[in-house]
Amino acid sequence: MIMRSIDEQGYHFEEWLTPAQIAKDVQQVAEQISADYKNKEPLFVVVLNGAFVFASDLLRALKDIRCEVTFIRVSSYFGMSTTGQLQFIVPLQQVVENRDVIIVEDIVDTGLTIHQLKAHLRGLGASSVKVASMLFKPNKLEYEDARPDYVGREISDEFVIGYGLDFDGFLRNLGSIYKVQE
Ligand code: IMP
């Protein structure tokens, strides 16, 4: 579903990245990961719900990479702000011990989610843990270890929706990414 602007719960959103622009960003991330993991067999840990769209495009754009994929579901957000507490709604199903793990996220904001997830995965014995995020808000980062290793695009401190990103659970299915207008 593609639209130039969206009105939701009194907020106005304008299209910021078109599907073609997103595809270019994803391609560039896929090329970097393909080069870095050439002779490895990474395990992608996709953070549900938001990252499923990015992960689907990213994994299919990888070149000559033998990999596995698994999912984890965490929650720390309601509406437009964080609650600061990470909950494991769907825990990890896969053994990560001695694996090269790549966490796939939709967006890194304060970094709290990734900070906690990395600690969790390291605690389970992963040999390396890297992060690929479609979007990254560097100005909002509070946890330096959560800085993503692979980023589709950086964004200033604005709320965005679409391409997996939601507003109160809705609008994840939008093919473009939209920014809220103040
Ligand atoms: P962090 O833990 O503060 O880095 O927040 C990461 C999570 O917050 C992401 O996985 C998203 O679910 C959510 N989030 C942060 N910023 C946005 C946004 O602009 N739009 C939609 N969700 C967001």
Set 109, 145, 149, 166: catalytic member: 109
Instruction: Work out which ligand 1 atom sits closest to the CA atom of 112.
Output: 2
CA dihedral 54, 152, 31, 47 (to 10 degrees): -40
Residue 52, Cβ density class (10 Å: 0-12 exposed, 13-18 middle, ≥19 buried): middle
CA 139 to CA 101: how far, in whole Å?
Answer: 26
pLDDT at site 158: 95
Task: Report pLDDT digits (tens) over 54-83.
Answer: 999 999 999 999 999 999 998 765 555 555
Instruction: Work out which ligand 1 atom sits closest to the CA atom of 86.
Output: 2
Does this model's pTM top 0.85? My answer is yes
CA 29 to CA 41: how far, in whole Å?
Answer: 17
Tokens of 59: 């994994």
pLDDT at site 89: 87
pLDDT at site 48: 95
Task: Say how many Å lie between the CA of residue 51 and the centre of ligand 1.
Answer: 10
pLDDT at site 68: 98
Supply the residue whose CA is at minimum distance from atom 17 of ligand 1: 159
What is the number of alpha carbons within 13 Å of residue 99 lying toward its C-beta?
A: 20
pLDDT at site 3: 81
Residues of the chain with pLDDT under 70: 1-2, 76-86
CA 20 to CA 26: how far, in whole Å?
Answer: 10
For residue 93, which phi and psi values (nearest 5 degrees)? -100, -15
Q: Is 149 known to be catalytic? A: no
